[in-house]
Amino acid sequence: MITLVTAIVLAAGSGAMVMWWLRDARAKEWCDYAAAAALFLFIMSVSGSVARTLLHGTVFLTEVHIVLLNPLFMASGAYLALYSIAAAFIYAAGSRSRTGVS
């Protein structure tokens, strides 16, 4: 039986590889747009939770964890994680080819 951690690692690795294979200019542009939208949703989820906590005067350390249950937070955070891994791979491959290291 596959564990949850193994499934997450495999999904992150396969998602990063898909983005690596789609690194032509047009696909990269769409991935960048999706990352910008995901970042916006991620920030709005967090700021909404913080604002709700401040407006209701609740205890910050316990109430702010509600943001972790927000599906927008989880989906956008997952995409940003995959996007960051793929961007790091692409950057590393580009810097490796610029320095002549094989």
Domain count of the fold of the chain: 1
Sign of the four-CA dihedral 25, 31, 37, 42? negative
63 belongs to a structural domain: yes
Place of tokens 């032509």: 24
pLDDT at 89: 77
Residue-range definition of the domain harbouring residue 72:
4-96
Output the pTM of the full model.
Answer: 0.66
88 belongs to a structural domain: yes
102 belongs to a structural domain: no
22 belongs to a structural domain: yes
41 belongs to a structural domain: yes
101 belongs to a structural domain: no
What does the pLDDT profile of the chain (102 residues) look like in tens digits? 467 667 666 666 676 677 667 667 777 788 788 889 989 989 998 888 888 888 888 776 777 778 888 888 888 888 888 888 778 877 887 766 655 555
User: Helix, strand, coil proportions of the chain in percent (round to 5)?
Assistant: 85, 0, 15
Distances (CA, A) of 73 to 24, 90, 91, 95, 97: 28, 25, 26, 32, 36
pLDDT at 29: 81
pLDDT at 40: 93
